[in-house]
Chains A and B, each alone.
Chain A
Amino acid sequence: MEQKSKRRVLYDRTLRALLWFCAALTCLLLAFLIGYIFVNGIPHITWQLLSTEPSFRSDTIGILPNIVNTLCLILGTLLIVLPLGAGAAVYLTEYAKNRRVVAAIEFAAETLSGIPSILFGLVGMLFFCEVLGWGGSIRAGILTMTIMVLPTIIRTTQESLKSVPQSYREASLGLGSGKWHMIRTAVLPSSVEGIVTGYILAIGRILGESAALLFTAGSASILSANLLQTLSSSGGTLSVALYMYVSERGELEVGFAIAAILMMLALLLNLSAKVAGKKLKR
């Protein structure tokens, strides 16, 4: 066999080293980010921070209102986007016959997913807060988020619907069920894990969102008396609160504490998406 030339050996080794280096760099970067946030943030997570409202009188900061706001936003958005996104995906995979219609909807979803969140925030602010007169409120935030996460939901649901074997559909139809009955009893149950994965991704997106929410849901940190009042009043989520405390008030410690909480939630969501995905493969 011909001996490899020196140049080839050098080329081979340099590139191999570079590949290892870059992959290691990516992993180290993540390790540093997580480590830095946890080291600086976890010591500042106290029960008082988690369980109170911010108070000027006693000069303490609490993020309970922000936690409540975040939960409201996530639940509200999922409630609306669940039927909407799943419905669109069902239409695309089961009903649509016209190729052009499918292409138009898919193109729209792709376009939506490319629009930066600040533009969603701006349009949401103009329409929900000003034209509809809702002001900065959680419900405006919920509707803005619905538009934002819709493409994620459509895509993941569509993928899991596509993975349902065609024979399930044929069997169901063959036994005499109508189309909707077939979808409800044969298609949706066997793609539920994929759909769940989509919702987990959407929760992650809402949790991390700040630019779009700052202008639609506002940044207040006040607990409301009841759910209705919460929905119609301004409220900042955890990410927005992080931004406000760090940029407007220079409260780095609170910022790190919130960042650590957000990171833990992100880790948790990633883990649960994996578990759901694994079940899907089975």
Chain B
Amino acid sequence: MKRILKGNGQNGLAPKTKGTRAAFETGMNLLFFLCGAVAVLFVLFISIYLIVSGLPAIREIGLAEFLFGDTWKSTGKEPQFGILPFILTSVYGTAGAIVVGVPIGFLTAVFLSKLAGPRVAAIIRTAVELLSGIPSVVYGLIGMTVLVPAIRTAFHLASGATLLAAIVVLAIMVLPYIISVSETALSAVPKEYEEASLALGATEIETYFRVSVPAASSGIAASVVLGVGRAIGEAMAVMMVAGNVANMPSLLQSVRFLTTAVASEMSYSSGLQRQALFSIALVLFLFIMLINAALAVLLKKGKKS
């Protein structure tokens, strides 16, 4: 087949001579290669930029003091730059969102891929797509006007802008990612597995949870990791509901995340304070890279099995 193709390509159907034509094709090849290379360049560019601009402040403040200092007073007379509160808030907030969001998302995914009829499935799928299409500021707005006042009255607080509010908003925001990735994994489980289980006398539900779910486990794990990445990187919605005070994390207190620490001071910062913000961004970037690596491993594992 190949030889036939080659023969036809060379027998002079095209108006150009062989030489110019080959040069033209090489040129196109190069052009498209450059387009592809741009993506790689962007990643390198962003990584290098964040590292270069993030390191000076860490060097000046000291790595241990920066990472494990528990006070952030960037504008005081003797400024202190400890980002432990932000790191812990990001970790707790993300963990909370996962604890709330994953069970709901996972069970919805099982329902969607196994139990739902085609019509119901279409409705839920649309709902999930729409949820992921809602801008984060809109989530922030609703959190601000519904959730924050509700938390204030429920717990008799001075302000409802708390870690709890951020966790609920983040849980809703990661839901669509968890549902869609888990559903893809669950739907890819070979029908024979389920049929074998059913034929052995297991009920439908037993089959789904004891056969399908374990078979799709790496895909489901990938969905959780993806959710972690989304939650830890979210800035605006969290900024609108978490109150933005640099406290050590506590469920009913106003807190500041890694993302919001960068966002809230960037517009008026200068000098070491500004550089420290870049360092926070670098820490966030490292977290994200770790999560990305975990995701890549899990997805690869899913593809293999």
Interface residues of A (CB under 8 A from B): 2, 4, 8, 11-12, 15-16, 18-23, 25-27, 29-30, 33-34, 36-37, 40, 83-88, 90-92, 94-96, 101, 104-105, 107-112, 114-120, 122-123, 125-127, 147, 150-151, 154, 170, 173-181, 204, 207-211, 214-215, 239-240, 242-243, 246-247, 252, 255-256, 259, 262-263, 266-267, 269-270
Contacts and interface: CB of A to CB of B under 8 A. Distances in A.
Given A114-B295, A180-B25, A211-B263, A29 B229 contact: no
Contact of A26 (B29, B37, B175, B201): B175
B232 to A, nearest CB: 7
Contacts of A262: 135, 138
B104 A22 contact: yes
Contacts of B150: none
Interface of B: 1, 4-5, 8-9, 11, 13-14, 21, 24-25, 28-29, 31-40, 42-43, 45-46, 49-50, 53, 103-105, 107-108, 110-112, 115-116, 120, 123-124, 126-131, 133-138, 140-142, 144-146, 172, 175, 179, 201, 203-206, 209, 229, 232-236, 239-240, 259, 262-263, 266, 278, 281, 284-285, 288-289, 291-292, 295-296
A178 B50 contact: no
Contact of A178 (B14, B146, B205): B14
Contacts of B285: 115, 119
A108 B209 contact: no
Contact of A176 (B1, B11, B40, B112): B11
Contacts of B49: 123, 126-127
Nearest to A148: B42
Contacts of B229: 114, 116
B233 A117 contact: yes
Contacts of B37: 105
B178 to A, nearest CB: 10
Given A23-B124, A87-B36, A91-B32, A259 B8 contact: no
A8 B38 contact: no
A119 B50 contact: yes
B24 A211 contact: no
A21, A96, A266: residue with the most chain B Cβ atoms closer than 10 Å: A266
Shortest Cβ-Cβ A-B pairs, 7 listed: A116-B233, A87-B35, A208-B135, A176-B13, A91-B32, A22-B107, A91-B36
A208 B146 CA distance: 21
27 contacts: A2-B201, A8-B206, A11-B205, A11-B206, A22-B107, A26-B104, A26-B127, A26-B175, A29-B175, A30-B130, A37-B142, A105-B39, A108-B40, A112-B43, A115-B233, A116-B233, A122-B266, A125-B266, A150-B38, A150-B42, A175-B13, A178-B21, A208-B136, A211-B263, A242-B137, A242-B138, A270-B129
Contacts of A151: 39
A16 B1 CA distance: 54
B39 A239 contact: no
Contacts of B31: 87
B108 A266 contact: no
> Which interface residue of A18, A29, A30, A120 has the most chain B CB atoms within 10 A?
A30
